[in-house]
Amino acid sequence: MLNVGKIEEGFVLDHIKAGKSLSIYEHLGLDKLDCTVAIIKNARSEKMGKKDILKVECDINTLDLDVLAFIDHNITVNVIKAGEIVQKKELVLPQQIKNVIKCHNPRCITSIEQELPHIFVLADPAKEVYRCKYCEEKYRENAIF
């Protein structure tokens, strides 16, 4: 089995749905950070069969937990200090997300108004439904930027 070493300070995102780690890497803007990142794909998991893991050696505050929660709130966030897990953060669905997903309704004002942010609001927390703030079109999964 592949071995990836421990990190000293940073965070480990565990229980990422297999195959989703690269999309999360992108949405968290990790490509813009000058730090060590390990992307582990298709790791064996008792719970999930297989899963992805992201290990990032940087300050936890650089992480946008809202975006992460929107993408998958079942991800476990482990905060690492001095090589040990010091905290497990729970992810809560954000009330609002900005410029993470795009409204694809051709009748929506966001389709023509320049520089208007694409804002989605949590309409139904139980069913995890997000709607465009302006036209109220339901978010469909393939609409991610």
Q: Is 135 in the site for other proteins (CB under 8 A)?
A: yes
Q: Identify residue 25 by its one-letter amino acid code.
A: Y
Residues of this chain, 58-117, that bind other proteins according to CB under 8 A: 105, 107-114, 116
CA 30 to chain centre: 11
> Residue 34 or 113: which CB sits closer to other proteins?
113
Alpha carbon distance 49, 75 (integer Å): 15
Q: How far apart are CB 94 and other proteins at their closest, in Å?
A: 20
Query: Whose CA is closest to 69, among 141, 13, 26, 140?
Result: 13
Q: How far apart are CB 134 and other proteins at their closest, in Å?
A: 3
> Residue 45 or 111: which CB sits closer to other proteins?
111
State the DSSP H helix or E strand holding residue 122, giving kind and residue range, or none if neither.
Answer: strand 119-124
Q: How far apart are CB 137 and other proteins at their closest, in Å?
A: 8
> Residue 60 or 108: which CB sits closer to other proteins?
108
DSSP letter, residue 141: G
| Total residues at interface with other proteins (CB under 8 A) | 16
Q: How many residues does the chain have?
A: 145
DSSP letter, residue 54: E
Please report, as ranges, the residues that interact with other proteins according to CB under 8 A.
105, 107-114, 116, 132-137
